[in-house]
Amino acid sequence: EVVPYVGRIAINNPAAPFAPDYRFGEVIGLAEPSISWKGDALSVCLRWVSLAVTETDYHLFVHILSAGGDLLTQYDAEPREGRYPTSGWSSGEVVEECITLDGAGLSEPPQRVSIGLYRWPDGERLPAADAQGTRLENDSLYIEIHAP
């Protein structure tokens, strides 16, 4: 009897490691994000580096927050819109992506972007630290922004 097996094949980018500005656990690094407004859309460009192979498929969150910390809009998914889970990354591989969030009609002017990684479905965040090893508040990278 033939038993079907469904698996994943990852065609990885060549290793091109860099010293990350931020670390999420011991497995994923992040360069300083690039953030820009294009009309009412906020573009958040991320450059990840795999520090070690992981079997866990982490989810990325990018949240736009008000001055009071209220969530105004968000993006939550596995990297590259779910098409390239972290369990497929090879050590040293660089993965780049840009997330676009619609800022039109927000009730308050956005003040910060919050970026991080978590495990689905329990929502446990990967510990986040800066390059000096200082733990980040709420295991999230916060970046001040200004409305367009």
Report whether 6 contacts 115 (CB < 8 A): no
Q: Which distant-in-sequence residues (6+ apart) come within 8 Å of 137 by Cβ?
A: none
Query: pTM (2 decimals)?
Result: 0.89
- Give the tens place of pLDDT for each residue, 78-103: 999 999 999 999 999 999 999 999 98
Cis before 121? omega within 30:
yes
- Give the tens place of pLDDT for each residue, 27-58: 999 999 999 998 889 999 999 999 999 999 99
- pLDDT given for residue 124 in this prediction: 97
